Structures are given as structure tokens and as C-alpha cells.
Amino acid sequence: MSKKKKGKKRKLNKKKLFTFLFSFLLLFLLVYLIFNIRITNIYVKSNSYLTDQQIIDIAGISDYPKTINNLSIEIKKRLEENTYILSAKVYKKGILNKVYIEVSENYPLFYYQTESKTVLYNGDKVDENSAKTVVINHIPDTVYDKFLDKMKKINNNVLSRMSEIEYKPNDIEDERFFILMNDGNYVYITIDKFLTMNRYVDILKSFNNKKGILYLDSGEYFDVFD
């Protein structure tokens, strides 16, 4: 009669069990922390028209929400859906709690009075009057595109000094403009010389910051007011 073999009892490997439980707990805590990390710092740069707070509001993170619910790609999408933002770069640092935002703005170039529209950097037109510079009369289509292209290249510090622009052709030049500056000076200029306006401040300094009419359509002649 055969004898039954007794099975060997396996001993519980406490060390392996402890390692498994510890690893599971660590993973659980890590996942929990990631899902509950909140945005603590927001840095905004390359903006001049929109304020930091406006950009943060547009990004949808003004209440410093959980970072897992606000991925960089989602924040970027919210920003670029705004009329006044052309493009945005968004990235995070630290433990995903620091958000860095860099924007390229679609800022207002001028208010086109004949159409009651504000013309933005990309050429789009919006109803609100949000520009400091006003174009007071109609510009023919053959000249308008050239004018818009030049306005895009004017430095913001000079653009903010332009109060009114009038399309003012004469018998010699049909792409001529008259600009009333907010410092009280007048400027006559043509499309091909338009970027000379970026040297406006330096030009005035060369005339001892006197008030008068600056003729940039024919050299740099300055007629001082009496």
C-alpha cells in the first residue's frame, strides 16, 4: 500500500510582501500627488497690449487650479482662441506647478473711422474702438494693403505717439499721408518712407525737440512753428 506524500508548506516571504506593499503605497501616493498638484506660479512675457492678468484670465488659470486639469496644450488652445493673441507658447517647470506663458499679440494698429472698425495686426477688423491711432479718411484698396504692411512694422512706442493719420495724396505722390502726432507735431510721409517713423524720436532730438512740421516725404526737412 503506497504512502501519500505530504506537500511542503510555503513560507510567507515577508520581505517581498513588504516591498510590494511599500511600492504600491508609494505609487498610490505619487499618483495622488500628481492629481492634486495645483499651479502656484504663473509667468507671462512678450506682452504689451494685454496685461499679465488679462492673459492669465484668458488662459483660464486665474484661480490657480489643479495642473493635471490644465495641460500646457489646453492652456495654449484657450489663449490662441482669443482675438488679440496670434500665438502662444506654454510650458511648465518644477513639479508641473510653475506655468510659463509667452504670447505673440494681435494688437490694434489703428481705428479705421470710415468703417467704424479697429484694424488688428493680422488685418482683421473688430467693432470695438481699442486703438490709440485713428485713420480719419478712406484709403484706396491699391494703397491700403501697402499701408497696413508698413503699420505692422512701426515700433509700438512710435505707434502710440500717432494720434491721427490722413490719406493725403498730392499731384506728385498718390501714396502720401499726413500724421498728427500726440506731441503736437505734424508729419508728411509717403509709403516708401514710412518706416522712417521708427526714427521719429531721434529725428526730433536732432532738431532740439522743437515743435513743427516734419517733411519725411522729401528728405527730413523740419519747419519749426513760429
Contact assessment for residue 39 and residue 65, using Cβ atoms and an 8 Å cutoff: yes
Q: Cα separations (Å) of 158 from 80, 170, 198?
A: 27, 25, 6
136 and 100 in a common domain? no
Sheet holding 186-190, edge to edge: 125-126, 117-120, 108-112, 134-135, 162-167, 176-181, 186-190, 212-215, 221-224
Q: Say which CATH number the domain at 215 has.
A: 3.40.50.10960
- Give the whole-angstrom CA distance, residue 47 versus residue 90: 14
146 and 79 in a common domain? no
158 and 214 in a common domain? yes
The Cα angle at residue 130 between residues 137 and 88, in degrees rounded to 5:
120
220 and 112 in a common domain? yes
164 and 61 in a common domain? no
Q: What is the pLDDT of residue 5?
A: 56
Place of cell 488652445: 77
Q: What is the pLDDT of residue 219?
A: 78
For residue 203, is it within any domain? yes
- Give the whole-angstrom CA distance, residue 20 versus residue 159: 66
98 and 41 in a common domain? yes
Residue where a domain stops, chosen among 71, 105, 139:
105
Global pTM value? 0.81
Contact assessment for residue 85 and residue 75, using Cβ atoms and an 8 Å cutoff: no
Q: With pLDDT > 70 as the criterion, what percentage of the chain qualifies?
A: 88
Burial 106-135 (b: 16+ CB within 10 A, else e): bbbbbbbeeeebbbbbeeeeeeeeebbbbb
Q: What is the pLDDT of residue 11?
A: 63
- Domain extent, residue 62, equals 36-105
For residue 61, is it within any domain? yes
- pLDDT for 129-155, tens place per residue? 989 999 999 999 999 999 999 999 999
Say if residue 169's pLDDT is above 70. yes
Q: How many CB atoms lie within 10 A of CB 192?
A: 12
115 and 100 in a common domain? no
Within 8 A by CB and 6+ apart from 175, the residues are 143, 146, 169, 190, 191, 192
Q: What is the pLDDT of residue 208?
A: 86
What's the whole-number mean pLDDT along residues 68-81?
Answer: 96
- pLDDT for 8-42, tens place per residue? 566 667 677 667 666 766 776 766 677 789 999 99
Q: What is the pLDDT of residue 35?
A: 72
For residue 75, is it within any domain? yes
Residue that wins the pLDDT comparison between 219 and 139: 139
For residue 23, is it within any domain? no
Residue where a domain stops, chosen among 52, 78, 105:
105
HSE toward the beta carbon, residue 17, CA cutoff 13 A:
4
Say if residue 170's pLDDT is above 60. yes
For residue 49, is it within any domain? yes
Q: Cα separations (Å) of 1 from 4, 47, 192?
A: 10, 94, 115
| Helix/strand/coil for 108 | strand
Mean pLDDT for the chain?
90
DSSP, res 184? S
Residue where a domain stops, chosen among 105, 136, 159:
105
205 and 148 in a common domain? yes
> What is the number of structural domains in the chain?
2
Closest C-alpha to 79, from 42, 45, 54, 107? 54
- Give the whole-angstrom CA distance, residue 135 versus residue 209: 25
